[in-house]
Amino acid sequence: MPFEFVLLVGTGLAISLGHCIGMCGPLVGAVSVAQRGAGVWALFWRLAIYHAGRLSSYMLIGAGLGLLGSAALLTGGGKVVQGGLSVLVGTLMLLLGAGLLGWLPTQRWLESGRMQRLVAGRLQGLLTAQTVPRRWALGMANGFLPCGPVYTVAMTAAATGSALEGALAMLFFGLGTVPVLLALGLGTARLSVASRRFFNRLGAVLVLAMAVQLVLRGLAAWGLVAHLRYGGLVIW
């Protein structure tokens, strides 16, 4: 899935410049403040451990959804089931992507509720983490915090039909979010509200592009549209 991985990294980068600075920025800032007295390189590595934990949770989410997708494919039906899975996931991503643009209340639904309160409470207990395992655990807890963009992109993991590819899909998305949040933690990321709004919309547009791609791939598996290839690269 090289083409999808490029899209996922780009989506992660755009979303981090828009949504993540506003939502995760205060948390990343609190993590940095808790490491007061550390030099730049020491703070860099401590934040890197925190982000490694966050990416670990993303990969677990991706692997779990990829496993569910593979279970659906094992029910039989070959391309018919695979096409149906792609169309279903793509349609869900279209709805969730519309939520990122503010057209539907899906993002608000995902980011509220009991899970949000449970994970947030765990985060508070780990904010002053001073050991490697606790910094990693803090990142893990952050990764499981209900988040509209994360859950939206996680749908691509289900479409892979593979635990490994699902984990890799979420890893690439997560890697796209690291540079901005790492810079923010080091105190160098500054974006206006208007700029964040622009990048959040750009990320949502990339999500919609992946959603359309998945729907078209499913329709192609059903033989309703032709596959699109660019050289050896399969677009859908």
Res 7 pLDDT > 70: yes
Of residues 147, 169, 168, 159, the one with CA closest to residue 90:
159
Per-residue pLDDT tens over the stretch 194-229? 888 888 888 889 889 888 988 998 898 888 888 787
- Among 41-45, 77-81, 103-107, the minimum mean pLDDT is found in 77-81
Res 115 pLDDT > 70: no
- The larger pLDDT score, comparing residue 107 to residue 175, is at 175
Res 51 pLDDT > 60: yes
Q: How many CB atoms lie within 10 A of CB 76?
A: 7
Mean pLDDT, rounded, of the chain: 83
Task: Give whole-number Cα distances, 164 to 19, 131, 160, 170, in Å.
Answer: 27, 30, 9, 10
Res 24 pLDDT > 60: yes
Res 70 pLDDT > 70: yes
What is the pLDDT confidence band of residue 117, given thresholds at 50, 70 and 90? low
Highest mean pLDDT among 17-31, 61-75, 168-182: 168-182
Three-state secondary-structure class, residue 48: helix
* Pairing mode of beta strands 229-230, 233-234: antiparallel
Q: Is the CB of residue 205 less than 8 Å from the CB of residue 92?
A: no
What is the pLDDT confidence band of residue 120, given thresholds at 50, 70 and 90? low
Res 114 pLDDT > 80: no
Q: Is the CB of residue 32 less than 8 Å from the CB of residue 43?
A: yes
User: What does the domain layout of the chain look like in residue ranges?
Assistant: 2-234
Res 123 pLDDT > 70: no
Overall average pLDDT of the 61-78 stretch: 82
The pLDDT score that the predictor gives to residue 78 is: 64
The pLDDT score that the predictor gives to residue 65 is: 92
Q: Tell me the CA end-to-end span of the chain in Å, nearest whole number.
A: 10
Whole-angstrom distance, CA of residue 94 vs CA of residue 217: 14
Whole-angstrom distance, CA of residue 13 vs CA of residue 146: 19
What b-and-e string marks burial along 160-192, b requiring 16 or more CB atoms within 10 Å of the CB? bbbbebbbbbbbbbbbbbbebbbbbbeeebebe
Whole-angstrom distance, CA of residue 184 vs CA of residue 186: 5
pTM of the model: 0.81
Strand ranges inside the chain, DSSP E: 229-230, 233-234
Three-state secondary-structure class, residue 224: coil
What is the pLDDT confidence band of residue 122, given thresholds at 50, 70 and 90? low
Res 173 pLDDT > 60: yes
Whole-angstrom distance, CA of residue 181 vs CA of residue 97: 22
Task: Give whole-number Cα distances, 124 to 23, 32, 56, 131, 137, in Å.
Answer: 15, 14, 19, 16, 12
